[in-house]
Structure 1
């Protein structure tokens, strides 16, 4: 599917190039090739894996200086996980620029947000989870965007064509999700994946101030997960797909009678407890998670205030699913000391508070009431060396997520990045199995051209 998607994107681009009718010599090409190695600490199985990936940026001008085509194509080949071997049209859109209005049509990646530990208000694009669990990689979204350069800020309107389903790693990939994901059984509102959603955003900028207000009404990008009985299992109603009615797995009560009691007494028939235990084990062996993408409305606020070396940041979210409203927020500060004690380095201290009131979502519970502490160091050397380190702490239980990322340029067009992620003191909770055992070390070598 990934290869066909990429092939369709290439065909589309070639068709657009031909339709625009400009010389190929005018096309600007840029790209990056990368070699990645990852090591995961796992109890069993192979924890070392590698992959290669490429990203191609294309800029195609036209005879009209205000009209152009921009594209970004991505492909990764993973040595162990077939689901991580995938391609995507990150971007491929026509851009028309005017004095007061701008129009974009095609696949785009749109980012909203200002905070470091978690991007709450970032809504438009679907997460490419096979790339990493941090949510930084996004799939391209087909859309039409109209921008009004208003006197008091910028107003964007988005018409979103369909919903991209989230990618998930396979059984041999990472993160090691304890139950299989039934990707082909995904559920969408009214059974429609290709439907039109919309979003609005107003952004205002003044000296030292960035303010954004957004509204989204459409299919949620982060799914709920329904526990279901796998297709093709021996349970009822699994012939044509997973059955999410777990009541069908409950055994029928044995007929009362002296004969049944006598057979159980003589151990010629299983006891009621043994029947229930066997059924529970059979359910666990055939349990799959079905992603469910409900309708969602969300209002977002992002705010950043800069004064000297201090940056104050806030992201707040109000969202509704199935008539239930919930709130979430990330608030914090970053203070930068330039030329740190004569070293020539720029060193920043970061602090953020993470809150999420949605208690029925596994991933939201990771940020229900947490604190983030971090530091960013720019060495200001010729190699462009940068180090970012941080920890997210849950104060009540003490579980922590440590992360360190460092990168520097090796030669003119080469860059090396190393990052480490460690989970510590996680509580004994089945929900935590979704992130436990994902301690990771990654090395990334990139060549830009």
Structure 2
């Protein structure tokens, strides 16, 4: 009902201004420093339809993309009913409207995927749909939002607000929209964010015909909550962040339902996902010294069952203007005392990566790397490359693979699910 009301407000405001809007299209080029996903192209495409009413001072922007994916799994499926080739169609619409000199706005980002075989992977989500009001140094938002915390590349320990969209694969930037009330205060000594989240969203795994799942089906029927209020237990979070010269710092605390469950056996063939109540304190740090970025994320988590400590530390060195290109070398190390309980398998792992930006008109970019378990020798690797075609198209290639997987790791159950994916997107 909350999403419906916000959507209705957005539609009414758009209708009021539709007769006096004028279209304007520009081009911008921005290369994001995070994982190479759709952000790298979005601002290389023509800017969204921008319409302004001089009398009512309303600005709207409509943008998004339509994408086709082809994914091929070289290895035979481990479990029945799985395929080796999958086609998908994806739609990412975006809408923005502001008024009151930009002090009030409504932001919407949607997502929908239609998968060729798996009904669970055919899904939709409201990534963002919120109203925001600015009062000088204060900002108040109400609705579904996505918030990203942290600086490291291989693991985002402190980034706890939004649930992972596991149906979209292993990319840690794919997040579900989180309903919240968000208050932000910006004094001279930093930014204070306070969030109240009334509803929790569980992990969703592929269905029986999907790849990237364990042999047992994990669904909401076997979900266990520590809180008697289950998914309606209120979550609270507070964060202070600040930039001091070449240092970016963030300190946060979260109380509520853990976004990552642990898997508990029910019997020999059935398992449940158990979501605990936790207190988690997080630290994010990034420091720049010349061409070097030093990065740190650490958490300290307390629950009734156990106390967890985890750290990711490392850096990225960039060689600039090498044949007009930028080359970044990344090295990180993760220690997580959850051990084999960690679903992503990062408990004592080194990460080595390479980032390349050609700085050409087509915004050609590449990011690749691998995680190596220090003791077990487990190796997971990935590579992503994309290039703009003309003014509004982008082609992307992605691969993910596993080698020497230890049979005590959760990802051992996914060991044949390495893939190669080709995507073609049209932006508007």
SS in 1 for 2:339: coil
> Which residue of the partner structure matches residue 240 of structure 2?
202
Looking at structure 2, the residues matched to 221 and 13 of structure 1 have their Cα atoms a distance apart, in angstroms, of 27
Residues 197-346 of structure 1: matches in 2 within 5 Å?
A: 197-228=235-266, 246=267, 283=268, 287-340=269-322, 343-346=323-326
* Deviation, structure 1 residue 430: 6.9
Contact conserved, 1:109 with 1:139, CA < 8 A, in 2?
A: yes
Larger relative helix fraction: 1
* Deviation, structure 1 residue 317: 0.6
SS in 2 for 1:14: helix
Larger radius of gyration: 1
Among 349, 355, 367, which residue is 2:335 paired with? Answer: 355
* Deviation, structure 1 residue 414: 0.5
- Give the structure-2-normalised TM-score: 0.86
Looking at structure 2, the residues matched to 417 and 90 of structure 1 have their Cα atoms a distance apart, in angstroms, of 22
Contact conserved, 1:414 with 1:445, CA < 8 A, in 2?
A: yes
Are 2:62 and 1:29 equivalent residues in the alignment? yes
* Deviation, structure 1 residue 395: 2.3
Query: What do the CA deviations read for 1:178-204 (whole angstroms, capped 9, x no partner)?
Result: 111132332222152112110000001
Give the direction of change, closer, same or farther, for the CA distance of 1:37–1:21 in structure 2 (3 Å limit).
closer
Give the direction of change, closer, same or farther, for the CA distance of 1:19–1:111 in structure 2 (3 Å limit).
same
Contact conserved, 2:249 with 2:285, CA < 8 A, in 1?
A: yes
Among 5, 12, 19, which residue is 1:18 paired with? Answer: 12
Looking at structure 2, the residues matched to 9 and 86 of structure 1 have their Cα atoms a distance apart, in angstroms, of 17
The count of residues paired between Structure 1 and Structure 2 equals 384
> Which residue of the partner structure matches residue 400 of structure 1?
379
> Which residue of the partner structure matches residue 235 of structure 1?
none
Looking at structure 2, the residues matched to 9 and 155 of structure 1 have their Cα atoms a distance apart, in angstroms, of 26
> Which residue of the partner structure matches residue 361 of structure 2?
382
> Which residue of the partner structure matches residue 36 of structure 2?
none
Are 2:186 and 1:112 equivalent residues in the alignment? no
Contact conserved, 1:182 with 1:289, CA < 8 A, in 2?
A: no
Looking at structure 1, the residues matched to 131 and 104 of structure 2 have their Cα atoms a distance apart, in angstroms, of 7
> Which residue of the partner structure matches residue 138 of structure 2?
101
Unaligned runs of 5+ in 1: 229-245, 247-282
- Give the structure-1-normalised TM-score: 0.82
Give the direction of change, closer, same or farther, for the CA distance of 1:22–1:208 in structure 2 (3 Å limit).
farther
Query: What do the CA deviations read for 1:265-291 (whole angstroms, capped 9, x no partner)?
Result: xxxxxxxxxxxxxxxxxx4xxx22222
Give the direction of change, closer, same or farther, for the CA distance of 1:142–1:432 in structure 2 (3 Å limit).
closer
Contact conserved, 2:340 with 2:410, CA < 8 A, in 1?
A: no
Looking at structure 2, the residues matched to 190 and 376 of structure 1 have their Cα atoms a distance apart, in angstroms, of 46
Contact conserved, 1:178 with 1:433, CA < 8 A, in 2?
A: no
Query: What do the CA deviations read for 1:12-31 (whole angstroms, capped 9, x no partner)?
Result: 40245437984244532111
Contact conserved, 1:22 with 1:63, CA < 8 A, in 2?
A: no
Contact conserved, 1:62 with 1:68, CA < 8 A, in 2?
A: yes
SS in 2 for 1:396: coil
Residues 138-153 of structure 1: matches in 2 within 5 Å?
A: 138-153=175-190
Among 120, 124, 137, which residue is 1:83 paired with? Answer: 120
Let me know the Cα RMSD of the aligned residues.
1.9
Give the direction of change, closer, same or farther, for the CA distance of 1:359–1:218 in structure 2 (3 Å limit).
same
Looking at structure 1, the residues matched to 385 and 377 of structure 2 have their Cα atoms a distance apart, in angstroms, of 26
Unaligned runs of 5+ in 2: 22-58
SS in 1 for 2:214: coil
Contact conserved, 2:384 with 2:398, CA < 8 A, in 1?
A: yes
